[in-house]
Amino acid sequence: MNTLLVTATGESTGKTAVAVALGRLAQAQGRRVGYMKPKGTRLQSHVGKTLDRDPMLARELLGTDDEMHEMEPIVYSPTFVRSAMEGREQPDELRERVREGFDAVAAERDFVVVEGGGRLTTGGAVDLTDAEVADLLDAKVVLIADYESPPDVDETLAAARRVGDRLTGVIFNRVSETAYDEVESVVAPFLERRGIPVVGVLPREASLAGVTVDELASELGVEILTDVPTDGVVERFLVGAMSGEEALRFFRRTKDAAVITGGDRTDIHTAALEAPGITCLVVTGGRRPPSAVLGAAAKKGVPVLLSSTDTLSTLERAEDVVRSGRTRDEHTVDVMEGLLTAHADVDALLGGGSDGDSDADADR
């Protein structure tokens, strides 16, 4: 049986899509596939319990029937981490729980994909970083990394060294068109010379970038004040903290953006509605904008969202949503399957039993 752990240099780099897509690609080869995420980090309330969304999606798309406590033996919440720091969680017991969950998921399977939690270092409080989980489960590791500029290589190098000999390779995900040639011609050869295989360079896919206004509103738990379509895409945020005239000049230079500002800033509201690249307006502080603003927004087809929190808190939460990309769903995984097939060494990632492992080791 082959076990592959999918980890990343940072949060929201596409681990879930890569993990589930690799599982489906393995199934297409006739493999019996299992999935687990030992440390649940993307948490939501589900039937009275706090669970990670990712194992639920994986179970649905891979068609498995494993128990959730086996797929996700640890709920890695802030409360859990505090409990660990206070000595109420025992690392040895947690490791045994992870091992038991893995054994259940791996039974009668010949390929198990293990999704890391958050980032490579998540789990350090209980001696269960992704590298330590890989050792525990005797798993190979693929490292997902972002790349925007040369200094990003430092993070990739540090993460690869932390993983050590278990590293199958690095996948650079969401690489922009301007950076793609540099990754292939400079970054990848540099890492290869350091003994770090690059097994994929996936281009940025526009259909997976940003979130729709509807998804943003749902994730933030805000009220939609206008009855207009909410399928527009938001990729970035602008904070209206200048004069209305200055704001309009600024807003006109961007696209696929949401403006976040206080409910009393009617000059900013008006400027946002006049700029063609503004997808939606988010007003904060729980203060509804004047009816004239809402009327103008409805006429122009611009959604207005009402947040009860202050501008800074709303901005921080919204940026987290966009960093996570489009809501994880079957479409996201379908697109990722295509990207991996076209731009990654899928055979090296999936292996092929004991013979496949030997071949992969020989290639490295």
Are 43 and 77 contacting, i.e. CB atoms less than 8 angstroms apart?
A: yes
Residue 156: how many CA atoms within 13 Å on its side-chain side? Answer: 29
pLDDT beyond 60 at 219: yes
pLDDT attached to residue 156:
96
pLDDT beyond 50 at 362: no
pLDDT digits (tens, 9 = 90+) for 71-107: 999 988 889 999 999 999 999 999 999 999 999 999 9
Residue 36 pairs with which residues in a beta bridge?
A: 114
pLDDT attached to residue 304:
95
Is 145 in a helix, a strand, or coil?
Answer: strand
Residue 350: C-alpha distances to residues 187, 244, 274, 361 (Å): 24, 55, 51, 13
pLDDT attached to residue 346:
97
- Mean pLDDT computed over 336-342: 96
Q: Give the best-scoring range by mean pLDDT among 78-87, 208-217, 249-258.
A: 78-87
pLDDT beyond 50 at 356: no
Whether the model clears a pTM of 0.95, i.e. scores above it, the answer is no
Confidence of residue 199 (pLDDT cuts 50, 70, 90): very high
pLDDT attached to residue 43:
57
DSSP states of 17-75 as a string?
Answer: HHHHHHHHHHHHTT--EEEE-SEE-SEEEETTEEEEHHHHHHHHHHT----HHHH--EE
d(CA 217, CA 221): 6
Helix (H) / strand (E) element for 347: namely helix 346-350
Is 203 in a helix, a strand, or coil?
Answer: strand
pLDDT digits (tens, 9 = 90+) for 283-317: 999 999 999 999 999 999 999 999 999 999 999 88
The residue type at 282: V
Pairing of strands 233-234, 211-212: antiparallel
pLDDT attached to residue 193:
96
DSSP states of 70-136 as a string?
Answer: HH--EE--HHHHHHHHTT-S-HHHHHHHHHHHHHHHHTT-SEEEEE--SSTTTTGGGT--HHHHHHH
pLDDT attached to residue 83:
95
pLDDT beyond 60 at 177: yes
Pairing of strands 111-115, 33-36: parallel
d(CA 82, CA 89): 9
Lowest mean pLDDT among 70-74, 207-211, 232-236: 207-211
Residue 12: C-alpha distances to residues 62, 188, 334 (Å): 21, 22, 18
Are 298 and 320 contacting, i.e. CB atoms less than 8 angstroms apart?
A: no
d(CA 337, CA 331): 10
Residue 198 pairs with which residues in a beta bridge?
A: 170
Query: Which residue bears the tokens 């947690």?
Result: 94
pLDDT attached to residue 300:
93
Lowest mean pLDDT among 181-185, 195-199, 288-292: 288-292
pLDDT attached to residue 34:
97
Kindly state the tokens that stand for 342.
């076209």
pLDDT attached to residue 131:
97
pLDDT beyond 70 at 361: no
pLDDT attached to residue 153:
96
d(CA 312, CA 327): 23
pLDDT attached to residue 358:
38
Write the Ramachandran bin of 211: left for phi over 0, alpha for psi from -120 to 50, otherwise beta: beta
pLDDT attached to residue 354:
39
pLDDT beyond 90 at 339: yes
pLDDT beyond 50 at 45: no
Is 199 in a helix, a strand, or coil?
Answer: strand
pLDDT attached to residue 363:
39
pLDDT attached to residue 352:
62
pLDDT beyond 60 at 235: yes
Helix (H) / strand (E) element for 284: namely strand 278-284
The dihedrals phi and psi of 192, each to the nearest 5 degrees, come to -60, -40
Mean pLDDT of the chain: 88
d(CA 61, CA 76): 23
- Mean pLDDT computed over 339-360: 74
Percentage, residues of the chain above pLDDT 70: 91
Helix (H) / strand (E) element for 272: namely helix 266-274
